[in-house]
Amino acid sequence: MKFRILVIDDSPTMRGLVTAALEPAGFEIHQAQDGVNGLDRLAAADPHLVITDINMPRLDGFGVIQGIRTGATNASVPILVLTTEAGGDLKDRARRSGATGWIVKPFDEARLISTINLVLGV
Amino acid sequence: MRQMLIEHTPDQSDVVSFRIGDQDYCIDIDVVREIRGWSPTTVLPHSPPHITGVINLRGTVVAVVDLAARLGLPQTVPTPRHVVIIVSVNSQTVGLLADVVSDILGIDEGSVKPVPDVGPDPTRAFITNLITHDDGRILRKLDMDKILPRSAGGQPS
Amino acid sequence: MPQRDDLRAAFFEECEDLLAQMGDGLALMSDAADTPELETLHSVFRAVHSIKGGAGAFGLNGLVDFAHAFETVLDLMRSGRLSIGSTGMPTLLRAYDVLSDLVAAARDGVTEPSSMAAILVELDILADGGGADEEDIEFVPVPLDLSLPFASPVEPEPAPLGYMIAFAPSAALYLAGHEPAALLRALVRLGSARVIPDTDEVSPLAAFDPGSTALRWQLELSTCASRDEVDAILDTVSHLADVMIAPLVTHAAGMEEEASTQSRPSLPDQVPSEPGPIASLAMSNSDPVPVMEARVKGMDAAPASPIRGQPEATPVQMPVASTIRVNLDRVDRLINQIGELVIMEAMLSQAITNAQIEDGGDIANGLEGIKNLAASIQESVMSIRAQPLKPVFQRMQRITREAADATGKSVRLQTIGEGNEVDKTVIERLVDPLTHMIRNSVDHGIETAERRRSVGKPAEGLITLSAAHRSGRVIIDITDDGAGIDRARVRQIAEERGLVAPGAHLAPSDIDNLLFMPGFSSKEEVSALSGRGVGLDVVRREIQALGGRVTIQSVPGQGTTFTIALPLTLAVLEGMLIDVGGETMVLPLSSIVETMRPASVQVQYLGRAARMVASRGALIPIIDLAESFGFDPVGPLEQAILIIVEYDADRCVALAVNQIHDQRQVVIKSLEDNYGDVPGISAATILGDGRIALIIDPEEIVQSAAAESLALPHVANG
């Protein structure tokens, strides 16, 4: 079975990079271009993992995490935050919102995959 | 409208021969895109006498060169019996007005002869070689670079 | 899988969009520098941020560093800790320019602009102004690395307001048919809670049980309930899960965000409905009120959709345009094919007429349908090539800034109607002429600040760049509020350079038009700014090459307006079909002023052959179009039709033609591809019968006529 990953990022470049890194590793990638779109697609994509950016139009990453955690479906899906930020406050805030992990851009492909495998318990 | 599509053959030595006045000429088959019957052209103002005008070739504007006039012979008075040979050289597409297309001929190396020094004749400048044919005809091979009007925004010659 | 190079190219394309988005935002901010809209700030911030993110991915360190410094200032601004006011705005704008340059430099692999260092310092100074309350910085720049998962949080120790419950169900819990969600809901009913996964330690992740799809849960339960009440719920599964309950402590910084998030109206079902504890938390929050208001306002501007899957209720305030990028060749091929379709339809129509088929109208109706369909497809395809003028206008902001800096003047550029769409090629070829005209306006139009003050104008000059659609053309005005054209000086220069005879009678508009004459501006006279080797004559040529016209109006003391009229597309043209010496030709409708029959007007003769006609108070020279093309002359004017065309600003000529057929839209076909230039002809088109008609270029006709006769009278009708 392929693991499905929902990538939420307003930057097509970043979505492309994540997709390019993960598809060859055997993941099925779904994309959303902002927080609202991410929540909209959640049920349909039914992902095993969500990777979200923080700074996005309409609904930011914290809102996404909160929305997922309090939502009707997939509330318990692991969520990795992928962002350029590395500030302790933000990490703390993301953690308290319900994020599972934090990955800093630019990411190393191998470490991204190993992190995902860890979270997915592969 | 008489129209004849020529299959592209890999044989490099084939030529298309045609008549202008009472002389036989030929060009490499590689540059020929199609041969069609003559249809009225739109006259281009201020154009040299050997430019008959322009025609619509499936949406592209193509100038028609009167080969006779180009070679310094009397201007052609085109009739539906005349043909326009559409050639494409260096991404430029042009129609060549000729009396009639005779044949597609295979040529062997040995029959290609240099043009003898026949003195100053306007036609001479447009001929690269002479080809002797088995049936005794002599084909004059045209230098397409010299025949075609210059394009790409320049003044046509 | 996309290759890395493709992604890199995609990144730079994205940068273009992001820079455009920034340009918009910064323009809005310039208008209200003291109180920028929060959503505008967010948008600009996100753009810089995305550029930084992508740049980091591709190892573009210079770009990352600069974007980071830029972003830091913007972040301070959006969090309300820095107000730069109007004095800081120029720094942001220059930083924007440098960022654009850096992106271009990174894309083209050239060296970074030298101005970067200076702007970096300016940004740092700005950032210092907002960095007073160090502790509050939530945005700490640190070296980029990969770190996962979280370090153990350090919780402060205030009074408990509820419980932190860690809940790690075992597989047995599921086998026992328990539903963790039900338990969680039961807990939540005690008060209000946030449900988050337990990520306090690294080890649980490593020990993740692949056999279980569930997360470990952590509940932040705000409640007045007793510990016993909590225990009662969890006791039922205590043997099937690891449960840990601890008193809840507040996080001063975090709760404020909670509060603002909770107050977001469009995020329903945020867990339970009891507002009690959360509301009281918000009240106890020590953050300054304005920050909170700002956040709430920001949220309103960017509403979230309902989470629980009711798409019809989604408030769509900013619809996301879904686009694809298509190679232009494909679009152009489509345009050609549609042109073919239109022609084929006309030919078919003709053939059916010739065949005299009786069909009771079916064929005619079918043909009519095809014709309408083809026309509408043609329009649709044309609209694919159409793009808003915005990017060009935005570029002019920068040109204005640079020109103002170079001349030491204070100038603002206002843009209007930048959403108007024009053919892509027109837009691309508009950049150079517009750049030159904007520079010209700053350099020659706008006065110095002292001078402006002395005549009672605001010190800051204003240039307005506006676009509007008018009768199938787009009209672009470049208006400055400067001194207007110094006609005495222009006349003097023109006389010195031999462009006009000394003392010649010239109307004011004639003098203004001298600016467009080749040879009017010379390099030593023009300042360092405008003197980049082009004069307004080049501008006019470029506009004319696009099938457009440029005119000038000036009022002394009040300013000057250049008006450019452009076709919306280079692919089709509204034309009048005319008969010239037996040939059907097309005259662009845009150039036609009026048509008249000479029989009804007085033709004036000048010398042996020159003829003129009076129209609207001006005497207009007549050109026999057939003769000028080398065809048989039109002959006696009584049998001809005169078409008055404007070939230049306020200059007209009357073209004598044999006949006028009708008016129609024609598809423009290049003559140059397969032939070359034809004097007096701009292009060709294909008529309904499949034949080619040439499109006349009125200005070239006049020029060649003037060259032949050298006696074209100078006509002034101003």
Q: Does C669 touch chain B (CB under 8 A)?
A: yes
Q: What is the rounded CA–CA span in Å between residue C440 and residue C435?
A: 8
**What average pLDDT score do residues C129-140 get?**
38
Tell me whether chains C and A touch (3+ CB pairs under 8 A).
Answer: yes
Q: List phi, psi (to 5°) of C186.
A: -60, -40
Residue B67: per-residue pLDDT: 92
- Measure CB to CB from residue C339 to each of B59, B63, B93 and give the nearest one: B59
Inspect the interface and report whether the beta carbons of B63 and C675 lie closer than 8 Å: yes
Contacts with C690 from chain B: Cβ below 8 Å: 56
Q: Is the dihedral of CA C269, C272, C274, C278 positive or negative?
A: negative
Peptide bond into C556 cis (omega under 30): no
Inspect the interface and report whether the beta carbons of A36 and C57 lie closer than 8 Å: no
Out of C126-135, C159-168, C423-432, C665-674, pick the least confident.
C126-135
**What average pLDDT score do residues C515-533 get?**
57
What is the pairing mode between strands C692-696 and C681-686?
Answer: antiparallel
Out of C123-137, C318-332, C457-471, C564-578, pick the least confident.
C123-137
Out of B103-112, C146-155, C525-534, pick the least confident.
C146-155
What is the pairing mode between strands B112-113 and C162-169?
Answer: unpaired
Contacts with B62 from chain C: Cβ below 8 Å: 674
Position C174 pLDDT exceeds 70? no
Position C293 pLDDT exceeds 70? no
The alpha-carbon gap from C582 to the nearest alpha carbon of chain B, in Å, equals: 10
Position B115 pLDDT exceeds 50? yes
**Confidence at C29, pLDDT banded by 50, 70, 90:** confident
In what helix (H) or strand (E) does residue B64 lie, and over which residues does it extend?
strand B60-66
Position C435 pLDDT exceeds 60? yes
Which of A31, A70, A97, A116 should we substitute to test contact with C (largest number of C Cβ atoms within 10 Å)?
A70
Contacts with C691 from chain B: Cβ below 8 Å: 40, 42, 56
Residue C248: per-residue pLDDT: 62
Residue C586: per-residue pLDDT: 93
Residue range of the domain that includes B53:
3-147
Residue C601: per-residue pLDDT: 66
Inspect the interface and report whether the beta carbons of C678 and B46 lie closer than 8 Å: yes
Inspect the interface and report whether the beta carbons of C140 and A87 lie closer than 8 Å: yes
Residue C173: per-residue pLDDT: 55
Position C462 pLDDT exceeds 90? yes
Residue C709: per-residue pLDDT: 54
pLDDT tens profile C321-349:
567 777 778 887 887 788 778 777 777 87
Domains and CATH numbers, chain A: 4-120 (3.40.50.2300)
- Measure CB to CB from residue C145 to each of A14, A16, A104 and give the nearest one: A104
The alpha-carbon gap from A6 to the nearest alpha carbon of chain C, in Å, equals: 16
**What average pLDDT score do residues C92-114 get?**
83
Question: In Å, what is the CA distance from C639 to each residue of C304, C322, C479, C628?
Answer: 73, 58, 45, 18
Residue C707: per-residue pLDDT: 62
Inspect the interface and report whether the beta carbons of C199 and A99 lie closer than 8 Å: yes
Out of A79-83, C303-307, C429-433, C557-561, pick the least confident.
C303-307
Which of A81, A96, A111, A120 should we substitute to test contact with C (largest number of C Cβ atoms within 10 Å)?
A96
Contacts with B47 from chain C: Cβ below 8 Å: 678
Q: Which residue of A has its CA nearest to C188?
A: A70
Q: What is the rounded CA–CA span in Å between residue A114 and residue C572?
A: 57
Stronger pLDDT, A49 or C526, i.e. the higher one? A49
Q: Which residue of C has its CA nearest to A82?
A: C146
Position C419 pLDDT exceeds 50? yes
Position C318 pLDDT exceeds 50? no
- Measure CB to CB from residue B94 to each of C631, C669, C674 and give the nearest one: C674
Q: How many domains does chain B have?
A: 1
Contacts with C343 from chain B: Cβ below 8 Å: 56, 59
Contacts with C302 from chain A: Cβ below 8 Å: 57-59
**Confidence at C55, pLDDT banded by 50, 70, 90:** confident
The alpha-carbon gap from A108 to the nearest alpha carbon of chain C, in Å, equals: 8
Residue B14 lies in a domain: yes
Stronger pLDDT, B121 or C40, i.e. the higher one? C40
**What average pLDDT score do residues C559-578 get?**
84
Query: Which DSSP string do the residues of C661-699 spell out, in sequence order?
Result: EEEEEEE-B-STTTT--BTTEEEEEE-TTS-EEEEE-HH
What is the pairing mode between strands A49-52 and A79-83?
Answer: parallel
**What average pLDDT score do residues C65-85 get?**
82
Selection from C180, C192, C258 nearest residue C220 by Cα:
C192
Which chains reach chain B with 3 or more Cβ–Cβ distances below 8 angstroms?
Answer: C
Position C297 pLDDT exceeds 70? no
Position C107 pLDDT exceeds 60? yes
**What average pLDDT score do residues C214-218 get?**
62
The alpha-carbon gap from C291 to the nearest alpha carbon of chain A, in Å, equals: 17
Average pLDDT, chain B: 81
Residue pair A9/A37 in contact by the 8 Å Cβ criterion: no
pLDDT tens profile C600-654:
667 777 776 778 888 777 788 889 899 888 888 877 777 888 999 887 656 788 9
Question: In Å, what is the CA distance from C499 to each residue of B85, B129, C286, C503?
Answer: 51, 55, 76, 12
Residue C291: per-residue pLDDT: 34
Inspect the interface and report whether the beta carbons of C140 and A75 lie closer than 8 Å: no
Q: Is C194 helix (H, G, I), strand (E, B) or coil?
A: strand
**What average pLDDT score do residues C566-593 get?**
84
**Confidence at C535, pLDDT banded by 50, 70, 90:** confident
**What average pLDDT score do residues C314-326 get?**
55
Position C277 pLDDT exceeds 70? no
The residue type found at A80 is: L
Position B64 pLDDT exceeds 90? yes
| CATH (domain of B39) | 2.40.50.180
Which of B1, B56, B148 should we substitute to test contact with C (largest number of C Cβ atoms within 10 Å)?
B56
Residue A91: per-residue pLDDT: 75
**Confidence at C478, pLDDT banded by 50, 70, 90:** very high
pLDDT tens profile C182-202:
667 667 767 777 776 554 433
Residue C306: per-residue pLDDT: 38
Q: Which residue of C has its CA nearest to A49?
A: C213
Average pLDDT, chain C: 72
**Confidence at C560, pLDDT banded by 50, 70, 90:** very high
Chain C 157-186, CB below 8 Å of chain B: which residues?
none
Inspect the interface and report whether the beta carbons of B42 and C676 lie closer than 8 Å: no
Residue C350: per-residue pLDDT: 75
Residue B143 lies in a domain: yes
Stronger pLDDT, C434 or C331, i.e. the higher one? C434
- Measure CB to CB from residue C673 to each of B42, B45, B151 and give the nearest one: B151
Position C695 pLDDT exceeds 80? yes
Stronger pLDDT, C345 or B24, i.e. the higher one? B24
Q: What is the rounded CA–CA span in Å between residue C275 and residue C133?
A: 32
Q: Which residue of C has its CA nearest to B93?
A: C674
- Measure CB to CB from residue A95 to each of C153, C213, C253 and give the nearest one: C153
Residue C167: per-residue pLDDT: 73
Out of C86-100, C178-192, C230-244, C256-270, pick the least confident.
C256-270
Over the Cα atoms of chain C, what is R_g? 35
Residue B157 lies in a domain: no
- Measure CB to CB from residue B61 to each of C583, C669, C680 and give the nearest one: C669
**Confidence at C146, pLDDT banded by 50, 70, 90:** very low
- Measure CB to CB from residue C674 to each of B46, B60, B155 and give the nearest one: B60
pLDDT tens profile A62-110:
888 888 888 877 788 888 888 776 666 777 777 777 787 777 777 778 8
Residue C434: per-residue pLDDT: 92
Residue C701: per-residue pLDDT: 85
Inspect the interface and report whether the beta carbons of C691 and B149 lie closer than 8 Å: no
Q: Does C680 touch chain B (CB under 8 A)?
A: yes
Q: Which residue of A has its CA nearest to C200?
A: A95
Stronger pLDDT, B93 or C331, i.e. the higher one? B93
Q: Does C343 touch chain B (CB under 8 A)?
A: yes
